A and B are shown apart, each in its own frame.
Chain A
Amino acid sequence: MTEHQDIEELLGAYALDAVDPDEARLVEEHLVECPRCRAEVAAHREVAALLTSGTSDPVPDGVWDRIAADLGDTPTPVPIEVAFGERQARKTTARTRPARVLAGLAAAAAVVVVALMGAVLINQRTEIDDLRDEAAAPEADPVLDLLRDPTSQIVSLDHADGTTGARALVGGDGDSVLLASGLPDLGEGETYQLWGLPQGRESMVSLGVLGADPGQSEFHVEGGITTLAITREPGGGSTQPSSEPLVTGTLV
């Protein structure tokens, strides 16, 4: 019998936590590199969970209270001090791009799309922490409203070399906020301008003139915008981009 077959034989017992610790380690090492066996274990666990379907015991009140008490240890309050521009040198970390993940999958069923966005958005928790730090005021802040909204998405607007110049929080209803802490100040007589590219079109529409030192700006996108971009424009802005975009980002 090959080693793979040995491990396959254990998958049922492993899924029910019915193997010895050394066997569990063997299986886990194998699962890291074998998607087929991972899928089998997930399927067994799904079946096991159904064995108790319909079963539900009353939970004593105290249990939730103790859970809620422990949640307080996690960071929730928003810092009041914000310094835009000081984070420019901060190294940006590699992060999941919704567009790339989506492109790899035929997202036929709506269920699949929702599930997928779930996975992608959860991975952005670190990013949410960053954005929380950047939010200007703790009360009535559109950034916080957007972070609380599960239908919103975070779009990273990146330079060609992959570093992040700005991030947009795009609400499910189109109300959005741009946080541009990674763009250098412009000289007098120039401004940054935000653009959106509607699906299937070749020309950009202006989403707003941002000024020479953009920090946090609110904007609105209509449905059908697939790409966001920021350009440098003269004076009070332009009706069409007059230069190549500095940073771009893709909406899911």
Chain B
Amino acid sequence: MKDLQELSDAALVVAVGRYRQDALAEAYRRHAGSVTALARRLLGSENLAEEVVQEVFLHLWNAPDKFDPERGTLRSYLLTRAHSRSVDLLRSEGARKQREERDAKRTADAGYDLEREVWDLTVSEAVSTALADLRDEERSPIVLAYFGGYTYREVAEMLDEPEGTIKGRIRTGLHRLRGGLQAAGIGVEG
């Protein structure tokens, strides 16, 4: 058998499906760092972030069939789960209170600070370029929603724009970003 390190992510999940703990360990070695970074950014709490990381990988162990390699990469699958779990925690009562204290006042200024943080988080130059190519009015809602964990309604309030406008800009912005990434030759298939 090939070394686990040489297996594709998809083959690795097959091995996880066969109760191979070393395969799960390899998936963890490859992706736990990204999952941790996203959960930390969203939650701002070490303990909660660790909880999310644990939950994400245990879910992969218990339900490997939920990952469909035809629909995306393993990395994106794990990050999607981590994002949704983090946002759930964020929106639960206790956490919301803490966060509101942290953000004191949700304003457009908070959005600009967050954007600066995201530049630090986005290491890849091609991704930074694609993000920079977006119009501000599309970039800000995406950044606030994805990295801030805000709903589009909250984003609309922060940016003082109609809800429908923000909803639409998130969608067109993601489409445009995809185009930009494809043009840069990274990550996403046509």
Contacts and interface: CB of A to CB of B under 8 A. Distances in A.
Interface of A: 9-13, 15-20, 38-39, 42-60, 62-64, 66-68, 70-71, 74-76, 112, 114-119, 121-125, 128, 147-151
15 contacts: A13-B170, A17-B149, A42-B71, A43-B174, A49-B73, A50-B187, A53-B123, A55-B123, A62-B50, A67-B57, A71-B24, A74-B19, A119-B70, A122-B64, A150-B7
Interface string B39-63: 0100000000010011001100110
Nearest to A12: B171
B112 interface: no
Given A49-B73, A59-B32, A43 B38 contact: no
Given A13-B145, A71-B21, A115-B10, 10 more contacts: A47-B178, A50-B187, A55-B37, A57-B37, A59-B33, A63-B36, A114-B8, A114-B69, A116-B69, A128-B18
Given A57-B40, A122-B13, A147 B25 contact: no
B187 to A, nearest CB: 5
Contacts of B36: 56-59, 63
A49 B83 CA distance: 10
Interface residues of B, number: 82
Contacts of B186: 50, 53
Contacts of A10: 167
Interface of B: 1-2, 7-8, 10-15, 17-21, 23-25, 28, 32-34, 36-38, 40, 50, 53-54, 57-58, 61-62, 64-65, 67-73, 75-76, 79-80, 83-84, 87, 118, 121-124, 127, 131, 142, 145-147, 149-153, 155, 164, 166-168, 170-175, 177-178, 181, 186-188
Contacts of A63: 32, 36, 50, 53-54
Contact of B145 (A16, A114, A116): A16
Contacts of B124: 50, 53-54
Nearest to B187: A50
Contact of B121 (A55, A62, A117, A122): A55
A89 B23 CA distance: 35
A60 B49 CA distance: 11
